[in-house]
């Protein structure tokens, strides 16, 4: 069962659900899980009702208002996904509150903690399939892939820091930090390190 706050949004949600259960829509409707599957709901007929497109969107908005903790995060992400898939433009307030809720939940957590082992494995498989057949990033430049350690196999005196920063703009390398790596003050910066031959 969901962790909920019994507030006006909870009452509005179930009033809308009760109204939808007592009517028949012939066309232009979407199936809605009353208790969402991500929160332990099932595909049984008593957990599904037909809603108009507008009602379905409103229900998902209401779910974000009376759930708490991890469940609130899941409902916020689900509502955000619904808006993106249907090309709904959120108001600036809605956008801000959704982003703040997502950031608050994700802060300080690893991908494994955020997604869980099953969803992380699925995400990694999708990324791997997407990258299949494409050349490795930074291939032939003397460095390893950008999301692992980068190794500079040349003498520190020959490293041209500004050119390195220009060559890899997406990594947002800092010149002062790279110079400290070059001088041996830091052991590495964003994975870039000096390796003696």
Contact between residue 30 and residue 57 where contact means Cβ atoms under 8 Å apart: no
φ, ψ (nearest 5 deg) of residue 89: -90, 115
**How many angstroms from the chain centroid is the CA of residue 86?**
18
Per-residue confidence (pLDDT) for residue 144, from 0 to 100? 42
Asked, for residue 127, whether it belongs to a domain, the answer is no
In the three-class reduction of DSSP (H, G, I as helix; E, B as strand; rest coil), residue 139 is classed as coil
HSE, side-chain direction, 13 A CA sphere, residue 5 = 13
φ, ψ (nearest 5 deg) of residue 52: -70, 165
Per-residue confidence (pLDDT) for residue 34, from 0 to 100? 95
Task: Judge if 156 and 71 occupy the same domain.
Answer: no
Task: Judge if 182 and 88 occupy the same domain.
Answer: no
Range(s) of the domain holding residue 169:
150-194
Per-residue confidence (pLDDT) for residue 21, from 0 to 100? 92
Asked, for residue 37, whether it belongs to a domain, the answer is yes
List b or e across 69-104, with b for residues whose CB sees 16 or more CB atoms inside 10 angstroms: eebbbbbbbbbbeebeeeeeebeeebeeebeebeee
- Determine the straight-line distance between the first and last CA of the chain, rounded to whole angstroms: 60
Asked, for residue 1, whether it belongs to a domain, the answer is no
Mean pLDDT by runs of 10 across the 197 residues of the chain is 86 96 89 92 93 93 91 90 87 89 84 78 79 61 43 55 76 83 79 66
Query: Would the pTM of this model clear 0.85, i.e. be above it?
Result: no
Contact between residue 69 and residue 88 where contact means Cβ atoms under 8 Å apart: no
Per-residue confidence (pLDDT) for residue 152, from 0 to 100? 52
Asked, for residue 24, whether it belongs to a domain, the answer is yes
Task: Judge if 170 and 95 occupy the same domain.
Answer: no
């Amino acid at each position: 069962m969901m962790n909920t706050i019994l507030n006006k949004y909870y009452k509005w949600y179930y009033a809308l659900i009760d109204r939808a259960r007592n009517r028949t829509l012939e066309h232009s409707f979407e199936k809605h899980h009353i208790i969402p599957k991500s929160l332990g709901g099932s595909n049984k007929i008593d957990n599904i009702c037909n809603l108009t497109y507008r009602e379905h969107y409103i229900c998902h908005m209401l779910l974000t208002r009376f759930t708490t903790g991890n469940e609130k995060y899941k409902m916020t992400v689900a509502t955000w996904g619904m808006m993106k898939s249907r090309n709904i433009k959120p108001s600036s307030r809605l956008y801000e509150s959704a982003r703040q809720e997502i950031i608050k939940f994700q802060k300080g957590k690893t991908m494994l903690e955020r997604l869980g082992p099953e969803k992380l494995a699925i995400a990694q498989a999708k990324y791997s399939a997407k990258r299949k057949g494409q050349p490795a990033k930074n291939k032939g430049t003397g460095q390893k892939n950008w999301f692992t350690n980068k190794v500079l196999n040349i003498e520190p005196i020959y490293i041209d820091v500004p050119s390195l920063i220009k060559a890899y703009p997406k990594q947002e390398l800092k010149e002062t930090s790279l110079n400290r790596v070059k001088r041996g003050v830091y052991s590495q910066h964003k994975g870039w390190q000096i390796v003696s031959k």
